[in-house]
Amino acid sequence: MMDTSHFSETESKIIETLRTIYDPEIPVNIYDLGLIYKVTVDDEKTVHITMTLTSPNCPIADQILEEVREKAGRVEGIAKVNLKLTFNPPWNLDNLSDEVKLELGFL
């Protein structure tokens, strides 16, 4: 999971927002699931989000990506969302936060 101590206030608000988006197949939000690799906001108020999915064949990929775009774009101070989907590195169970690992019985 990403270290959030260096994030700006706007970036922290975006992360809070991303924590409201859930993968319907796993009862965990996409941030704590480890699907978000990077969140930055530039001087033009564009949020740049790099993320992955649990599988390249995720049947609801479009739904999750659209929800990320929509909700991140509604955060105060954001003018545009630049969303990049990557599978490098591929998602694995190591991406889970310790809290989620404990909740799901992996710790």
Residue 107: pLDDT above 70? yes
Residues 8-54 have pLDDT tens digits of 899 999 999 999 999 887 889 999 999 999 999 999 999 999 999 99
Within a domain: residue 77? yes
The domain total for the chain is: 1
Residues 45-99 have pLDDT tens digits of 999 999 999 999 988 899 999 999 999 999 999 999 999 999 999 999 999 989 8
Q: CATH number of the domain that 67 lies in?
A: 3.30.300.130
Domain region containing 37: 9-91
Whole-prediction pTM value?
A: 0.89
What is the DSSP track for the chain?
A: ----TT--HHHHHHHHHHTT-B-TTSSSBTTTTT-EEEEEE-TTSEEEEEE--S-TT-TTHHHHHHHHHHHHHTSTT--EEEEEE--SSPP-GGGS-HHHHHHTT--
